Amino acid sequence: MIRWLILLVLFVVALPYLYLAGLGLYLGLDVSNGVVTFTKDLLRRNLVYSEQERVDISALEVVRAEILWKGKLDNEQLSEASGLAYSPDQSVLFSVNDSGNPPELFALGLDGTDLGVWPVRYSDHHDFEDLARFELDGVSYLLIADTGDNFNWRPSLSLLVIAEPSLDTVGQTLEPAWTIHFRFPQDYRDVEGVAVDEKEENIYLISKRRIPAEVFRIPLRPDEPVIAEPVARLRGIPKPTARDLREGDGYGIYKSCPTAMDMRGRSAMIVTYKEAYLYRRSFRQSWDDAFNELPVRIPLPEIHGLESVAFGASADLYHVTGERKDGIKPTDVFEVRLP
């Protein structure tokens, strides 16, 4: 009896690993690295700490922004909003769902009202993690970041560029205008923050599970294959605090990880699960140098699954929303106004 009980326990323990290995082999992923990362994640040991000097949170300038509740997300299909993009032409927000959902683009009013959904012609095996809007040659585009890699096992990640749809085309299938495939110079990265500098024609990406977080750059219209270029380490974003670790229900180690990003002119906004950090570059300063400086810290209210940010009508206004808890609970849209 005891032997059978032990075998049953071993089978239950092995089951998720067998599923993981099968899925990884089917999709052509790095199974061995995925298994190692999965185990570290179970043990809450999945952050990579650099020896580079980091600043204490007390060293950052704090800005108390005006935070306005705008409404709740109406569309229950948008269960895991993992990216936002603001369209000044249509005065709407676009969003995408996280992994485990069909490839779709959502439109919502600034108060969260449902304005429609478009299917996107793309693989069902994806992990959409952010959304960015930019203009190029007089055309407005949306960039969808298929860059999630929780298990550090995807040899190549992708960025889809689609022409910004108008609301009168809701329901029509969207075709990518072009797709960028890229990899990192060493190892793998889980990326949840992506933004476009349309003047430079560059895309900036931020690693999630590295402390300090790393910034990479790739061209907007590259000749493939593309290797992401390291730009900076965000030493100004503090590591998890003792309170994060105490109150995080086991996930507090990720509280200070960047989960979304947006750019507007010479401003870059980065959000973590608990607050926002504003980087501003001076005239003729590069993003490489700006990201190596200290940001302005902007405290935010508690927002479950805060993984979306988008600048609004100006660089002093932005929008944030979070994922639905358990995929079904209500979630809110906030407008944040800087003084």
Helix/strand/coil (H, E, C) string of 51-77?
CCCCCCHHHCEECCCEEEEEEECCCCC
Contact of 144 with 160, CB cutoff 8 Å: yes
Pairing of strands 296-299, 61-62: parallel
Distance (Å, rounded) from C-alpha 206 to C-alpha 214?
Answer: 6
CB 214 within 8 A of CB 206: yes
C-beta of residue 140 within 8 angstroms of C-beta of residue 89: yes
Give me the pLDDT at residue 100, please: 86
- Beta pairing, strands 210-211 & 213-219: unpaired
Percent of the chain with pLDDT over 90: 72
Whole-model pTM: value is: 0.95
pLDDT in tens, 311-327: 999 989 999 999 999 88
Does residue 51 register a pLDDT over 70? no
Here the tokens at position 320 are 């944030």
Pairing of strands 296-299, 139-146: unpaired
Residue 332, strand partner residues: 72
Asked if residue 8 has pLDDT above 70, the reply is no
The predicted model gives 260-286 an average pLDDT of 95
- What is the tens place of the pLDDT at every residue in 202-212? 999 999 988 89
pLDDT for residue 142 is more than 80: yes
pLDDT at 250 over 70: no
Interval 290-315 mean pLDDT: 94
d(C-alpha 320, C-alpha 326), whole Å: 19
What's the confidence (pLDDT) of residue 15? 84
Alpha-helical runs (H) found in the chain: 2-27, 31-42, 242-247, 287-291
CB atoms within 10 A of CB 32: 11
Amino acid at 51: E
Which tens digits make up the pLDDT trace of 98-130? 988 999 999 999 999 999 999 999 988 899 999
Instruction: With cut-offs at 50, 70 and 90, classify the pLDDT of residue 2.
Output: confident
| Amino acid 53: pLDDT | 66
Phi, psi for residue 13 in degrees, rounded to 5: -65, -40
- Whose structure tokens read 């590259």? 222
Nearest CA among 153, 68, 8 for reference residue 335: 68
- Classify the C-alpha dihedral 59-61-65-69 as positive or negative: negative
How many residues are recorded in the chain? Answer: 339
pLDDT of residue 152 exceeding 90, the answer is yes
Q: Residue 52: what pLDDT?
A: 66
